[in-house]
Amino acid sequence: MSNVQSIVNEILPEVQGQRKSEYPVSPLFLNRWSTRAFSTRKVSDQDLYTILEAAHWAPSSYNDQPWRFIVAKTEEQLSTFHSFLNEFNLTWASSAPVLIVVASDKLRENGDPNGAHAFDAGAAWASLAIQATILGLHTHAIGGFDRNKARDILNVPDHIELHAVIALGYLGDKSVLPEAIQQREVPNDRRPLNELVFEGKFE
């Protein structure tokens, strides 16, 4: 069985014992988890753009496709992105070979507000994360960054909202992480589904 087939069809060893779904879903969804331990191994442009290709096929309101991706993959670009990450996130994300700012256009082409832009960008991020998992890569969405500084440095106009910085790369050894977060380096579980789903009305 190929590596891709394994990721899609089997629970990976690092996930076994950590996650179990209440209902039958593809193992792919359980195998996707947010590591902080990234290898410095480079991500090929072929894989990077395959992941971005998947993201841009996400569904969107009126097919507006409001998502935008700002990518850092060179040493100079990554150094720029590091400058607006908060201190805690920088301690681990600095090892990731690719960082991607996920943003979205708050306006439709005619200038009207797009009330679905953030929802649609979330769909694109999920597609990005799943495609990365299929390719044997890991992602971690970072909300802790200075948006004003990022906007200024990256020359982002006001009508574009910045949502998250995505760390992308191969799984590394958790021993590279600060001791304080090594114990957290496992796939986390989920709340019971019955706490999140309401039939008929919110209760």
Measured N-to-C along each axis, helices 117-134 and 45-55 cross at an angle, to the nearest 10 degrees, of 140
Range of the domain at 19: 1-31
Same domain, 15 and 64: no
Residue 62 within a domain: yes
* Stretch 21-46: mean pLDDT: 96
Q: What is the mean pLDDT of the chain?
A: 95
Same domain, 86 and 45: yes
Residue 203 within a domain: no
- Read off the pLDDT of residues 73-95 as tens digits, 9 standing for 90 and up: 999 999 999 999 999 999 999 99
The CATH number of the domain where 141 resides is what? 3.40.109.10
Residue 166 within a domain: yes
* Stretch 179-192: mean pLDDT: 91
The residues near 37 (Cβ < 8 Å, ≥ 6 apart) are 92, 95, 171, 172, 173, 174, 176, 177, 185
CA neighbor of 163 nearest in space, from 129, 128, 121: 121
pLDDT band at 2 (very low <50, low <70, confident <90, very high): low
Residue 195 within a domain: no
Q: Give the pLDDT score at 94.
A: 96
Same domain, 17 and 88: no
Q: Give the pLDDT score at 167.
A: 98
Q: Give the pLDDT score at 178.
A: 87
Residue 198 within a domain: no
Same domain, 6 and 68: no
Same domain, 2 and 68: no
**Are the C-beta atoms of 98 and 72 separated by less than 8 Å?**
yes
Same domain, 124 and 45: yes
Number of domains in the chain: 2
Q: What's the alpha-carbon Rg for the chain, to the nearest Å? A: 18
Residue 127 within a domain: yes
Q: Give the pLDDT score at 155.
A: 98
* Stretch 154-164: mean pLDDT: 98
Q: Give the pLDDT score at 78.
A: 98
Q: Give the pLDDT score at 179.
A: 87
Q: Give the pLDDT score at 116.
A: 98
Over 60: is that where the pLDDT of 1 sits?
no
> pTM of the entire structure?
0.95
Please give the Cα distance from 32 to 135 (Å, whole number).
11
- Read off the pLDDT of residues 102-146 as tens digits, 9 standing for 90 and up: 999 999 999 999 999 999 999 999 999 999 999 999 999 999 999
Q: Give the pLDDT score at 34.
A: 96
Same domain, 15 and 45: no
